[in-house]
Amino acid sequence: MQISNPVLKGFYADPSMIRVDDTYYIANSTFEWFPGVQLHESKDMVHWNALPAALSTTELVNMRGNPASGGIWAPDLSYADGKFWLVYTDVKIVNGAFKDCTNYLTTTEDIHGPWSAPIRLNGIGFDASLFHDADGRKYLVQQTWDHREYHHAFNGISCTEFDLSTMTLKPETERVLWRGDYVKLPEGPHLYHKDGFYYLFAAEGGTTYSHHEVVARSASLETESFGGSPTNPFLTNFDTPRTYLQKQGHGALVDTPSGEWYYASLCGRPWHQANESEVDPRGWCTLGRETSIQKVEWDEDGWPYVVGGHGGERYVEAPSDAILTEEPAAGTAGARGDNEGYGDNSQHDEFDDPSGTLDARWNTLRVPFDSDMGYVDTDKHALVLRGQGSLSNTFDLSLVARRWQAVNFDASVSVSVDPRDYRVMAGLVNIYNDQNWSWIYVTRDEKRGRVIEVAQNNRNHYTSYLKDAAVQIPNDVTSVRFRVKVRTQTYTYEYSFDDGATWTEVPVTLDAKILSDDYILQEYGGFFTGAFVGLAAVDYAGYGQEATFRSFDYAELPDNE
């Protein structure tokens, strides 16, 4: 078998990979999307199946009002003392001099949950991970933030001992282990112990095309006793601009039962406009930061290196002791997919789960799906959304969405709504964050009644494209089917009055890069997620008018590489 990278497609950033017996687990960042911390498992590193997300209640995380790309940064999953330990950060400030955040710890004996009530650890910096030493002592290592404008904001990787008897940190033990090398911006630390050395893996260079992963080591955990590898960088695509995978770096190391080593990393797969350089700008990652896995070996001096070079490889030899892992069928919850023989991530949802719950692939923003947002009507095979705030609202929003996991796909849904006025809107959304999104929707025009409009919010500049030419909906049409056709660089919207038998394209072509990490970072400090497609209802007048959605389809098409 071969690992085909990325192993987790779409927005699955900052992987923390561990092994328990013969099973591998990955935890990924989720930022402002709910539920928090996506989990996957595998026995072969090739096929990955989704597990219930770890942070599924507001007791574990409440992100209402969090800024875009705030929320859950870089979770750390570990296993010790017969249970799983999960450290995660909730970031409340993204832009400016401060990164107000809180690090929490939760545990469970069963990876499926439930997870324990969170323990508040500290707030000195993000990307915290828990190291379990062989002598039973535990340490929190983390990026350390410095708000002072005359200091570098990334003030090294610190280490603080964790007291098991009180389940609290010992702040008096805090010390800096590593200040980074010439690349700077040290973050995402993980500690490992091997052959008498403590190895510190840390990301540097920022999570863009200059992203690096470096390795340092020391015989002890004393202050700044770590020295960097002479072969750093361990992993980077800074100097490999034409390789399939880009941005590799932040991640975690794992060994196999037979003693092989692998490293799970975030990565990006940029696409380019026809008239653009492939070096600068290097491209646009609408799928966000994904997860790749590289094979690792150790040189005669005890330093790790990536097989195939520090740029990594698209196809990687799977572990020799891998146990074949069966995936769910294509189109079912948990399917990983890569359009290369393992199925894909296509989805069809009739909203008919007998329990009345949403498919696990749906996400909401900041808080869980609840009765304020709407409900699943299983008898009518429908999702009913109650209109709340606009798509720019970070507190009260009725939206469910799923990741873009391919750069070429079609997504469609039927919408039934009779808007009271122009303040009521319901339709099909493509969204990166509250400042960057577009949709096709039903609303009401004072003169023509129900109409179809297409609008885009681009860095909070709102544009209605059809205006006086908005499409009037015939009186005898009770539902409108909307479709988006995403074709790598661009996407278009269509509508149908006969449930998809015939389609009419709206004469508006939208630039997909507006929903990419690389576009967001040009003007905003939080560019860490990826594009989502979803369903939304707005009634900003505050009367909660409902809209009914039926028969959602997300169908992936082959990538044009």
Q: What is the pLDDT of residue 338?
A: 40
Cα 434 to Cα 203: distance, rounded to the nearest angstrom = 28
In a domain, 340, yes or no: no
Q: Are residues 394 and 476 in the same domain?
A: yes
Does residue 341 surpass a pLDDT of 50?
no
Model confidence at 224, pLDDT cuts 50, 70, 90, reads confident
* HSE-up of residue 379 (Cα within 13 Å, Cβ side): 0
Q: What is the pLDDT of residue 332?
A: 55
Short-list 10, 378, 16, CA closest to 203 = 16
Does residue 340 surpass a pLDDT of 80?
no
Alpha helix stretches (DSSP H) within 423-530: 517-520
The two tokens of residue 186 are 């040290």
Model confidence at 344, pLDDT cuts 50, 70, 90, reads confident
Q: Which amino acid is at 209?
A: Y
Q: Are residues 89 and 156 in the same domain?
A: yes
Catalytic positions, please? 14, 187
Short-list 318, 316, 346, CA closest to 334 = 346
Q: Are residues 204 and 265 in the same domain?
A: yes
* CA quadruple 351, 353, 358, 359: dihedral sign: negative
100-138 pLDDT, tens digit each: 999 999 999 999 999 999 999 999 999 999 999 999 999
Instruction: Give the bridge partners for 317, in sequence order.
Output: 2
Is-contact 492 508, C-beta < 8 A?
yes
531-559 pLDDT, tens digit each: 999 999 999 999 999 999 999 999 999 87
SS3 label, residue 172? helix
Does residue 478 surpass a pLDDT of 80?
yes
Cα 24 to Cα 26: distance, rounded to the nearest angstrom = 7
Cα 470 to Cα 371: distance, rounded to the nearest angstrom = 32
The model's pTM: 0.96
Short-list 76, 16, 86, CA closest to 263 = 16
Residue 278: other Cβ atoms inside 10 A: 11
With DSSP H G I counted as helix, E B as strand and the rest as coil, what are the percentages for the chain, rounded to 5?
Answer: 0, 45, 50
In a domain, 561, yes or no: no
DSSP state of 150: T
* Residues in CB range of 182: below 8 A, 6 or more apart: none
The number of residues making up the chain comes to: 561
In a domain, 333, yes or no: no
Q: What is the pLDDT of residue 152?
A: 94
Q: Are residues 262 and 400 in the same domain?
A: no
Q: Which amino acid is at 92?
A: K
Q: Are residues 365 and 273 in the same domain?
A: no
The two tokens of residue 332 are 């079912």
Is-contact 86 106, C-beta < 8 A?
yes
Model confidence at 337, pLDDT cuts 50, 70, 90, reads very low
What percentage of the chain has pLDDT greater than the value 70?
Answer: 97
In a domain, 430, yes or no: yes
Q: Are residues 263 and 359 in the same domain?
A: no
Q: Which amino acid is at 265?
A: S
Q: How many domains does one find in the chain? A: 2
275-304 pLDDT, tens digit each: 998 888 999 999 999 999 999 999 999 999
Does residue 206 surpass a pLDDT of 80?
yes
In a domain, 527, yes or no: yes
Cα 52 to Cα 47: distance, rounded to the nearest angstrom = 17
The string of DSSP codes covering 369-437 is: --TTTEEEETTTTEEEEE-BS-TT-SSS-EEEEEE--SSEEEEEEEEE---SSTTEEEEEEEEEETTEE
Among candidate residues 264, 298, 317, the one where a domain is terminated:
317
Q: Are residues 221 and 277 in the same domain?
A: yes
Q: For 313-338, what is the mean pLDDT?
A: 76
Q: Are residues 292 and 367 in the same domain?
A: no
Alpha helix stretches (DSSP H) within 237-390: none
In a domain, 202, yes or no: yes
Model confidence at 339, pLDDT cuts 50, 70, 90, reads very low
In a domain, 302, yes or no: yes
Residue tagged 């990652």 (tokens): 285
Q: What is the pLDDT of residue 561?
A: 44
* CA quadruple 362, 13, 185, 170: dihedral sign: positive
Q: Are residues 312 and 365 in the same domain?
A: no
Domain harbouring 81, CATH code: 2.115.10.20
Is-contact 96 61, C-beta < 8 A?
no
Q: What is the pLDDT of residue 559?
A: 73
Q: For 53-78, what is the mean pLDDT?
A: 97
Q: Are residues 431 and 288 in the same domain?
A: no
Does residue 472 surpass a pLDDT of 50?
yes
Q: Are residues 384 and 294 in the same domain?
A: no
Among candidate residues 271, 301, 317, the one where a domain is terminated:
317
Q: Which domain holds residue 528?
A: 347-556
Model confidence at 560, pLDDT cuts 50, 70, 90, reads low
Cα 295 to Cα 308: distance, rounded to the nearest angstrom = 9
39-62 pLDDT, tens digit each: 999 999 999 999 999 999 999 999
| Cα distance from N-terminal residue to C-terminal residue, the chain | 22
In a domain, 472, yes or no: yes
Measured in degrees and rounded to the nearest 5, phi and psi for residue 170 equal -105, 90
Q: Which amino acid is at 91?
A: V
Q: What is the pLDDT of residue 274?
A: 87
Domain harbouring 375, CATH code: 2.60.120.200
Query: For the sheet containing 71-80, what is the strand order?
Result: 71-80, 83-91, 101-108, 119-122
Q: Are residues 303 and 361 in the same domain?
A: no
Q: What is the pLDDT of residue 326?
A: 86
User: Of 14-23, 200-209, 249-258, 551-560, which gets the smallest average pLDDT?
Assistant: 551-560
